[in-house]
Amino acid sequence: MGEEVKIDGGEDRMTEWEAGLPTFDDLTPLSQALIPPELASAFKISPEHTRTMVDVNRASKNTISSLCGRVSHPSSTFKPFLNNHNHQNEPSVQIHVMEETETEDPDLTQGGSDPKKFRRMEPEEVDSVTHTATTDYCTDDRSAAAKTLKRPRLVWTPQLHKRFVEVVAHLGLKDAVPKTIMQLMNVEGLTRENVASHLQKYRLYVKRMQGLSNDGPSASDHLFASTPVPPQSFNDSSSCSGHGNVAANGSRGGGNSENHGGMPIPMPYPPPQQLMPMPMMVMAANGHVGVPGNMTPAGINGYEAHSHYNHYPQQYTSMMQQQRDCGKLDSDLPRY
């Protein structure tokens, strides 16, 4: 509060943000009484005592302190993100969370612009939270509060789901277990429970899709329909190099998966160390980006549309080369 927030690469955004702020002249000083003396006397309201800047500052600190002391304060909700932020494995996908204290609005899942109700946690934002009021006034309370809080509701955006599917595809549906998926996804704040739940749903979806082989996904499968349905043979996977799964710690790079049935696993999954921070398509203020209904299956299914892989440097290129070595060019990839 009152301190300058340093955001790497966010100066443009800050400038834009600041441009939208009222000018100094537009603001009513906190030290100024809200009720003019004439009105106060007319309505027999005891006049407010004149506040000095000292009073204002004290009030601000009190407010911050009280907010930090409340377990429901949003900043404490995100402690897991704060903890992990400086890890070597930078988050590659930003996740969307719902604040559990707010009433859930159906529009929120479609990217409503109200920051109070829908918050996209970005590393920069985490930094800003960390480096402002929470750091100055309520560091001690934060960890304790976070332990008692329920985790905010995770929104499985198409991007997040896509990464999920990529990991599952890499592991093979049979061997894809929540913990391993969670580790390979390398998304901060994503819990095993989150993954387990989503995996449960995903398996049901896959089962359903494989049951009705010819029919497309139902109208209710927006998210899952945005990603390929794995073939039956997904239940058995091994890499072209003769190894099974990538170790959970992702120490082995470039593992390609190919099951014995000859069906290639679509994508080599980059281990966390090799992942560049993936600029995730974000929920824009108008809520259009990332809304399943607005994302064409072709745009998501086709790996040529996976523009974020263009951000991968040499490592990913080499992995693609390994895939070629396995005879699995991108054009060979199944579309299910």
Partner DNA sequence: GAACAAATAT
Partner DNA sequence: GATATTTGTT
**Interface residues with DNA (CB under 7 A)?**
98, 104, 150-156, 177-180, 192-194, 196-201, 203, 219-223
Chain centroid offset of residue 292 CA: 16
Helices (H), the chain: 11-19, 37-42, 53-69, 74-77, 79-84, 123-131, 133-137, 139-148, 158-171, 178-185, 192-211, 222-225, 297-301, 314-325
Q: Between 128 and 158, name the residue whose CB sits nearer to DNA.
A: 158
- Let me know: does 182 contact 192? Beta carbons within 8 Å: yes
Q: Between 51 and 192, name the residue whose CB sits nearer to DNA.
A: 192
Q: Between 201 and 306, name the residue whose CB sits nearer to DNA.
A: 201
Q: Between 178 and 302, name the residue whose CB sits nearer to DNA.
A: 178
Tell me how far apart the alpha carbons of residues 73 and 82 are, in angstroms, rounded to a whole number. 15
Closest CA to 265 of 273, 255, 274: 255
Residue at 27: amino acid letter: L
DSSP secondary structure letters along 251-267: -S-S--BB-TTSPBPS-
Chain centroid offset of residue 72 CA: 21
Q: Between 133 and 182, name the residue whose CB sits nearer to DNA.
A: 182
Closest distance of CB 100 from DNA, Å: 7
Q: Between 156 and 234, name the residue whose CB sits nearer to DNA.
A: 156
Q: Between 108 and 333, name the residue whose CB sits nearer to DNA.
A: 108
Closest distance of CB 295 from DNA, Å: 13
Closest distance of CB 210 from DNA, Å: 14
Closest distance of CB 198 from DNA, Å: 6
Element (H, E) at 122: none
- Let me know: does 21 contact 27? Beta carbons within 8 Å: no
Closest distance of CB 221 from DNA, Å: 6
Burial of 77 (0-12, 13-18, 19+ CB in 10 A): buried
Closest distance of CB 107 from DNA, Å: 12
Closest distance of CB 275 from DNA, Å: 21
Residue at 158: amino acid letter: P
Closest CA to 95 of 152, 56, 179, 51: 152
Q: Between 110 and 238, name the residue whose CB sits nearer to DNA.
A: 110
Closest distance of CB 220 from DNA, Å: 4
